[in-house]
Amino acid sequence: MMGVMTSEETRTMTPPTASGSAPAGTPAPHGAPAARDDRERGGREGSGRERGGASPRAWTMRVLVLGIVLSALNLRPAITSLGALLEEVRDGLGMSGSVAGLLTSVPPLCFAVFGVMAPRLARRFGAGAVVCAGMVAIATGLLVRPYAGGTAGFLAASALALMGIAVSNVLMPVIVKHWFPDRVGSMTGLYSMALALGTALAAAVTVPLTDALGGSWQSGLVLWASLAVAAVLPWLPFVRGRVTPPGARDAAGQGGPDAAGTGPAPEVPRLRITRSRTAWALAVFFGLQATAAYITMGWMAQIFRDAGVPAGTAGLLLAVTMVMGVPLAFVIPRLATRLPHQGPIVIALGVCGLAGYAGLYLAPAAGAWAWALLLGVANCAFPLALTMVGMRARTGQGVAQLSAFAQSTGYLISIPGPLLVGVLYQHSGGWGLPIALMSALMVPQMAVGVLAGRNRTVEDEAAA
């Protein structure tokens, strides 16, 4: 899939020419002829292509797609692997239910605090360098946290990994918008699909691997650091801005650094993003869907275990919920980019969520697989929100600001949800009140999602 999408991109993007007649990043018309081979191009591009081989630009795009996919695979295992072993971690560290609820609230807190820093870091160092550093932070945090000693050390190491996830969360839509301007839906679908795959994989195999490694929850958590180490490598060529997007040119007519793609860029006037109603609607939608997602990732396996489902099966049920995002995360963004209004998709996902919560309340064990499927569909509000971030702004700078605002504000909104679920669970002694809370939050999520799905741009609203 990566090769196909990369080849499509290299066919549809206009390469820089000596004349510089095409504006930076201008897409080639659909149906434009593919690049000729070396014998046809003769000496014009002899230095840019070896005989019989792919061009350096094509290899750059393939490495970038690989980096995006590997990074997306790392954006949730730190969370879902913990959810699968939450009971063992609680026992090992002596956590109460309320402290465990605090632990499940740490991801959105870190995403809110650190995500807002991502655009500024990208302007200074380049998005590629920031994502590379983010992967290093994830790997380090996952290596340290099982052996940090005590709840405080565990939380601190988790925060380091989540910091890396936060900046990568914000910058992925920016990189996609800039490097693949005519493939926003496809590329958003690709990395959303990889994100869902990583989420499901961690939920499904953490418990079996822990058992295979001797039953130590430390071993079950630390193994995910290796995936983050692998994700560092494709970003190394982008750290110093040595590569640029197709068609990117500086003032002198040469390829130069770019804030969204690789290296640092000059400051440009910032949008007054808080003036945009669409930005606020998208932020609240993002926050409510994140609340549902982190409650699901942190507590759903425990709901099934308390209903009498074995631990291994509960992990598989969580994996089913997460794996539903693999095909749907690729389909939904492509469908969303073809619709003038994304409200109908928002409503459909919300109805699935309400049905899943009703099932968890009425028959959590008897219909467990059906409820896991329905909640998996509902969780695909996340790739839809990412797609709308790319659609609600016209420019790379606008996408960067909207992504940072929507995600940081949204994750702030989502912080109380998992914590409140833990408190309600501990003090009520059951899951009735927590499930009622989850259901109640789905209604405003659908309402603001419809508002965020309107065909408008934040640049127009901010200017007005």
All residues at 6 or more sequence positions from 29 whose CB lies less than 8 Å from its CB, including other chains? none
3-state SS, residue 249 = coil
If one counts every other C-beta atom within 10 angstroms of the C-beta of residue 242, the result is: 14
Question: Cα separation of 218 and 315, whole Å?
Answer: 17
Question: Cα separation of 309 and 320, whole Å?
Answer: 15
Matching residue, tokens 């510089």: 20
Report which residue type is found at 352: C
If one counts every other C-beta atom within 10 angstroms of the C-beta of residue 91, the result is: 10
* Dihedral, 50, 55, 60, 66 alpha carbons, nearest 10: -100
Tokens standing for 56? Answer: 């350096």
What is the rounded radius of gyration, in angstroms, for the C-alpha atoms of the chain? 22
Cβ pair 245, 261 in contact under 8 A: yes
In tens digits, the chain (464 residues) has pLDDT values of 444 443 333 333 333 333 333 333 334 443 344 343 443 444 444 444 444 445 557 888 888 999 999 999 999 898 888 877 877 888 888 877 667 767 777 787 888 888 888 888 888 888 889 999 999 999 999 999 988 878 888 888 988 999 999 999 888 888 888 888 878 778 888 888 888 888 878 878 888 888 888 888 888 899 999 999 999 999 998 886 544 444 443 332 333 334 444 444 444 556 788 889 999 999 999 999 999 988 887 788 889 989 999 887 887 898 888 888 778 877 898 899 889 899 999 999 999 999 999 999 999 999 999 999 999 999 899 889 988 998 998 887 888 889 889 988 998 898 888 888 888 988 888 899 999 999 999 999 999 999 999 999 898 888 77
Question: Cα separation of 378 and 373, whole Å?
Answer: 9
Indicate the pTM of the whole model: 0.68
CA angle at 334 for the pair 300 and 34, rounded to the nearest 5°: 140
User: Which has the closest alpha carbon to 18: 261, 265, 256, 252?
Assistant: 252
The CA-to-CA distance between both ends of the chain, in Å, stands at 42
Question: Cα separation of 277 and 405, whole Å?
Answer: 12
Cβ pair 424, 437 in contact under 8 A: yes
Task: State how far the alpha carbon of 315 is from the alpha carbons of 85, 96, 108, 153, 370, in Å.
Answer: 9, 21, 22, 26, 15
Question: Cα separation of 281 and 385, whole Å?
Answer: 11
Question: Cα separation of 316 and 84, whole Å?
Answer: 9
Matching residue, tokens 């632990």: 103
Matching residue, tokens 């209903």: 307
Cβ pair 25, 248 in contact under 8 A: yes
27 pairs with which residues across the strands? 13
